[in-house]
Structures are given as C-alpha cells and as structure tokens.
Amino acid sequence: MKNLNYQTGRVGENLAREYLIKKGYRILQSNFHTRFGEIDLIAAKNQKLIFVEVKTKIGDQFGTPEDMIDKRKLGKIQMMAEVFLQKNPPVAKQYPAYQIDAVCLVLGLDNEIIRINHWEDLGSEMV
Amino acid sequence: MLTKILSAAHFGLETLPVEVEVNLATKGFPGFTIIGLPTKSVEEAKERVKTALVNSGIDFPQAKIIVNLAPADIPKEGSCYDLPIAVGILNSLGQIRLPAEKSFFYGELSLDGSLRHSKGVFLLALAAKNLKVANLFVPLPSANEAAVIKHLNIYPVSSLKQLVSHLVGLTPIQRLKITTKQSASALANQATAEFDFAEIMGQEQAKRALEIAAAGSHNIFMQGPPGSGKTMLARALPGILPPLTEEESLEVTKIYSVTGNIPPGGSLVTNRPFRSSHHTTSRAGLIGGDSPPRPGEISLAHCGVLFLDEFPEFSRSTLEALRQPLEDGVVNISRAAGSVQFPAQFTLVAAANPCPCGFLGDPKNECRCSPRQILRYQAKLSGPLLDRIDLHLNVPAVEVEKLMPLDSARGKPIFKPESSAQIRARVIKARNLQTARFQKTGIHSNAQMRNKHLKKFCHLTDEAYLLLKQAVNNYHLSARTYFRLIKVSQTIADLSAEKTITQSHVAEALQYRLRFQEN
C-alpha cells in the first residue's frame, strides 16, 4: 500500500512538472530533499522563485488533495525553502523573493488526469 | 458570496446576538477557517458542518470559506453555531433562500445531518422576544423550551435536509404551538420524592420543622446520631414542596436551559428543584465559577432546596462561601473573562452528626469522643453561617416501638403518620397566602423578606412582641436572629391561616432556634 502511494506520488509529480513547463515555468530542481523534508519541485518564472508542493490522489472518496495541505505542511515547505536557499547562495542572490505554490491532482484508476489545479502563493494561508 | 446569519451567545444568563458571517470565495486556496475568538468546541464545528452537509447529500464546496463570529472580541463557546454556519454555507452556494424576516438559527449538528438537543434554547427565545426577531430555527428536541414564549414563530428542525426543503419552499416545517400555562401546571402537581412522609415513623417534630421550612423556604439544620433518619427526612422533602409559581418557573428554566439540565423534549421546569451535593463538591461546583462562569449547585437549587448531607465534612472555604448567597439570594462571580450574576435563592437543608462518633447527647449510646474532638468538629461550622439558618433541630434516634406499624392483633392502636400529600396541601395553602402578600415586591416567600417587608407585612400581638423581646435579651440573640425569628413566626402563622403573629407562633419559632444552643 505504502509503495502504491509512493508510485502515485511519482506519477503525479511527473504530470505536474509537464503541466508547469507547458505553462511557461522553468524547472530548476525536482525532489530536493534533506533529512528534514522534501520539496517536490523548484521552479522559476518572471524572476520569481517558486517552491511547489505536489499532492496527488486517486479518486475523491478519501478527501481532496487540497485537504491534505495544512498550515503545518506549508510551514515545513517554507523551512525547506530556507534550507535550499542557504545551500544555494547563487540562486538566492538571483531571486529576491520566493513563493509557495501547490499543484493538486486527482487521477483516475488508469492514472489519467481528472482534475489538476495550480494554487499560487499560499504564503497567506499560513497565518 | 457573503451571507450573514443571526445566532446568539450566552454569557451567564445574558444572551447577546451574534452575527455569523460566512464568506465563500471561489478564488484562493480552498480551506475552512473560523474567526471571532472561537473556543475548541466552536473550532470543531468545521468538521461537523462539513460531514453533516456531505451526509445530507450536499457537495461540500471546493472554496475558501471564512466564518466570522461578530462581535469578534467576545469569546464564543459551545456547539450552537453549527446550524448557522451550515445555513450560511448553503445560502452562499445559492441552494436555499433565507426568510425575509429576521431569523435566529441555533443548534448543534450531528454527523448524519440531524440536529441535536442544544443548551440555552429557552434563553434564545427570550432574547428573540426582546430583540424582535420573528423566526426561530432550533433543534426539534429543544424546541419545546422555546414554545413557552408567545408571539414567536418556532420551527423545530430535525435535520439539515428537512430545513433545506423548508427553505426552498418544498415541504414547510410546521410551526410549534405555544405551550399553555395549563399544560405546564398540570405537570406541576406530580411532586415526586423518594420517600413519603407516611413511611417515616416518629420524628414528628422534625416533620413539623420541615413543613415550616417548605412553607416559608426557611433554611434548616438537622443534627442527630447516625441512622436517626436525617437523610430520609430530607429526601422526603420534595414531596411536600409547593409547585413553582409562573414567575419562579421562568427563572428556574433559564438556569436549567443554559446548563443543559432540561431533558430533550422538555419544556418549563415546574417542579421545585431539589439538589443534593456530596461533601467533596468543589467551591466552583457549589457556588458557580469556571471561565466563562457557570452556575453552581446553589443556582441550580434556585427557588428550591439544596441538601447538604454531612455538613461539617464540607471544606471550610466552601461552606463560608455560602454565606453571602444565603443572605443576598444572588451570587456574583467575577473572573478574568467577565463578571456575571446568578440567582441563588435556595432553601438550605443541612444534616450533621453532633460529634465525630455521632452519639453526643444520645440517651442510650455513650459518646466516645474527647471534648477536644467535639470542639474541633463543631468549630467547622462558623457562627455566622449557623446564624443564617432559621430552623435548628435535633433528630434523635427513634424508639423501637415506633419503628414498626403497631398491629391491632396485640390490641394496640394503629398509629398512622400523615402522608406527604396531606402536609403538602397545608404547605400550598400557606404559600398561596405568601404569594398574595408579596405581589409586586419581587420576593416569593417569608424567608426572602427584607427588613422593610417585615415592617410592612408582619403584625405581632403585644404578647408576642413581649416574648420576643425577652428571648432576645435573655439569650443575647443577634439582630439578624431577631428578624429571622419574626419570619419563621410569620410562616407558622400562615400555616395556621392566622393574620397576626401570636405568642404561640413566636414560642414555636423560638424552640427551633434555641435547641441547638443547649448542646
């Protein structure tokens, strides 16, 4: 089961990456992780650095992917973003500001996309 | 889309209107936030509302929902905001049409979408009347509480589904009929007690004292060895208490509604409350407290009886805290969250042993306590506290001859004690005299009289006055005791349906005061 969820996540992350590229984003890195956590995608567009959390669900029966993103999760992503910027000073220098986005996917049984939503700038949800 | 729904919050016995503002934004990350100082129970409304809507066959919207409970600076607690939040969401979705007149929505949701019995519906109805709110949508199990108040449209709601179909105009909910005074007072005549006075053998003096206590709502203190029947006597007391007057009934119902003590489907409280507290009861539990302040046992016993068995075993601070409410009939509770006043006009019935072993003064059993032990035991009850108790009496052990009903086979006469119903009839007569006497004074019984009332209503004969004066001088009684003696005398006069207080009434009142001091 756990392995299945992991696979679903990978599928979703690949789909999200394609989706963002199509929308004109430049993907800097995928699956940046340290022992504290992981950022699924790091992208850039219009001189802005964007950290993207990808959430994938198969079917809507067990809650929406949006339900799975709460303040705690966003806090974790922000912390990871700071870690990333510390480890990559050139990137930090290049982009003065960053934002946190989420891409939420609902897939069908054959991994086809039923719904894909891109939520921008979730920083304000953290308060 | 923004929707404003009217609901209410209770602080003590006050009710404030609360506007539940529900904003449903289709832009922005979906979420559900409640602001306006919600406590945990309000915060959890999110999960209840969400699940109840889904289980009622309504798709929960993928939207950013913000609920604001205005005024935003007053802390809100309780589960009664479930319904207004759900209705707000439904209206923002455009799935219902709100009634044109001002309407209160109030109640707790169950996960299956049905409405649960909620506290404080009676207070809500009172507030609706004052604020001129026409419609009341309340849970079906609690709706009877509201039905006492006239000129309101009360819609008993059993489930969210039913409410939706009412609000879109498909199947209207039948308005509730007003509960009449008759149906409420019909219930009042069923005074129930664990014991009937006819079951209690002997103890004639104690029964007489309890009759006086019930008639004039005087405080009473019973002292006697273990097993003499103090507790049994107290438990029989509800059977002779007079029914609540209409005014009293409303006051008691307020307190019972806000504390959730009215059973589902219940309406006005018509029986006099009888509360009995264990001696481990905390001060906040007895007097009231917590934050925000809640009524304690003394307020739940408002207009009724508070029975404290094993009186000296209560902690000293708890007992002394009773002093002010005993005198004033109200209790003021101030906490950081605010200050509230609860009514607490109760009749205190206290029972105690005279010493730790219980046999002090008993003719047959020897007391095994040292004088020091006895002093320490009796010192637990302070003078000022005992001074506030009108009737003091000894409940001695009953002689064995009186215990079993005497059988005629042995040629002895059958002695049958009076039943509770007989005593109650006298008590009701005496209480009716008081109700007539105290019209428009705001008090209900002799014990509640202030000094100005005494001057106006109590007429002593010259001999009665002389006896009273001699007693005060001889026994060095306090001014308070003096006035309390007159009040008890008045009740005794009422029981014998006499207009003036005579010497014999004062003499009887005196014996309940002095007996205790002989020990």
| pLDDT tens sequence across A94-127 | 998 899 999 999 998 888 899 999 999 887 776 6
Mean pLDDT across B66-77 = 92
SS3 at position A10: helix
Q: Report the percent of chain B where pLDDT is more than 90.
A: 65
Beta-carbon separation of B62 and A64 below 8 A:
yes
Q: How far apart are CA B100 and CA B4, in angstroms?
A: 13
- Average pLDDT, whole number, for chain B? 89
Q: How far apart are CA B302 and CA B345, in angstroms?
A: 5
| Number of domains chain A is built from | 1
Please report whether residue A92 resides in a domain: yes
pLDDT digits (tens, 9 = 90+) for B93-149: 999 999 999 999 999 999 999 999 999 999 999 999 999 999 999 999 999 999 888
A15 touches chain B (CB under 8 A): no
pLDDT digits (tens, 9 = 90+) for B279-330: 999 999 999 988 788 899 999 999 999 999 999 999 989 999 999 999 889 9
pLDDT digits (tens, 9 = 90+) for B261-275: 998 888 888 889 999
Burial B472-483 (b: 16+ CB within 10 A, else e): beeeebeeebee
| pLDDT at residue B83 tops 60 | yes
Nearest CA in chain A to B29: A119
Q: Do residues B263 and B204 make contact, with C-beta atoms less than 8 angstroms apart? A: no
- Residue closest to B393 by CA, chosen among B228, B215, B217, B200: B228
Q: Which of B26, B27, B29 to mutate: most A Cβ within 10 Å?
A: B29
Beta-carbon separation of B29 and A64 below 8 A:
no
Alpha carbon of A124 to those of A99, A104, B71, B472: distances in Å?
10, 18, 24, 77
User: Which stretches of chain B sit within 8 Å of chain A by CB?
Assistant: 28-31, 62
pLDDT digits (tens, 9 = 90+) for A52-84: 999 999 887 788 898 888 888 999 999 999 999
Q: Give long-range contacts, CB 8 A cutoff, 24+ apart: B15-18.
A: B15/B120, B15/B123, B15/B124, B15/B126, B15/B127, B16/B71, B16/B74, B16/B127, B17/B127, B17/B131, B17/B133, B18/B69, B18/B70, B18/B71, B18/B76, B18/B81
| pLDDT at residue B408 tops 60 | no
**How many residue contacts between A and B have a Cβ separation below 8 Å?**
13
Report pLDDT for B191.
58
Neighbours of B280 (CB within 10 A): 10
Q: Which of A52, A55, A60, A67 to mutate: most B Cβ within 10 Å?
A: A67
Contacts of B29 in chain A (CB under 8 A): 66, 69, 102, 119, 122, 125
pLDDT digits (tens, 9 = 90+) for B179-199: 765 555 555 455 577 889 988
Per the DSSP assignment, residues forming a β-bridge with A54 are: A103
Instruction: Count CA atoms closer than 13 A to B518's CA, side-chain side.
Output: 11
Report pLDDT for B516.
47
Report pLDDT for A71.
87
| pLDDT at residue B44 tops 60 | yes
Give chain B's radius of gyration (CA, Å): 28
Contacts of B66 in chain A (CB under 8 A): none
Beta-carbon separation of A119 and B62 below 8 A:
no
Please report whether residue A127 resides in a domain: no
Beta-carbon separation of A102 and B31 below 8 A:
no
| pLDDT at residue B518 tops 50 | no
| pLDDT at residue B17 tops 60 | yes
pLDDT digits (tens, 9 = 90+) for B329-342: 999 998 877 789 99
Locate tokens 């001129």: which residue?
A: B132
ipTM of the complex, rounded to two decimals: 0.81
Locate tokens 């209503």: which residue?
A: B457
Mean pLDDT across B478-492 = 93
The distance from CA B496 to its chain's CA centroid, rounded to whole angstroms, is: 29
A99 touches chain B (CB under 8 A): no
Residue ranges making up the domain that contains A10? 2-122
Q: Do residues B49 and B89 make contact, with C-beta atoms less than 8 angstroms apart? A: yes
Joined tokens for residue B508: 């009887």
CB contact set of B219 (below 8 Å; sequence gap of 6+): B213, B326, B347, B348, B349, B350, B388, B389, B390, B391, B447
Mean pLDDT across B393-414 = 69
Please report whether residue A47 resides in a domain: yes
The distance of B335 to chain A (nearest Cα, Å) reads 30
The distance of A117 to chain B (nearest Cα, Å) reads 10
CATH no. for residue A13? 3.40.1350.10
Report pLDDT for B106.
97
Mean pLDDT across B486-500 = 94
Beta-carbon separation of A102 and B29 below 8 A:
yes
User: Which one is predicted more confidently, B23 or B360?
Assistant: B23
Neighbours of A105 (CB within 10 A): 24
Mean pLDDT across B201-226 = 93
Q: How far apart are CA B248 and CA B219, in angstroms?
A: 18
Alpha carbon of B228 to those of A95, B205, B233, B518: distances in Å?
89, 13, 9, 20
- Residue closest to B204 by CA, chosen among B393, B425, B428: B393
Per the DSSP assignment, residues forming a β-bridge with B168 are: none
Q: Among partner residues A66, A102, A125, which is closest to B62 by beta-carbon distance?
A: A66
Report pLDDT for A64.
87
pTM, rounded to two decimals? 0.86
A111 touches chain B (CB under 8 A): no
Beta-carbon separation of B30 and A64 below 8 A:
yes
Report pLDDT for B9.
94
| pLDDT at residue B345 tops 90 | yes
Report pLDDT for B415.
67
Report pLDDT for A2.
66
Split at pLDDT 50, 70, 90, the class of B247 is: confident
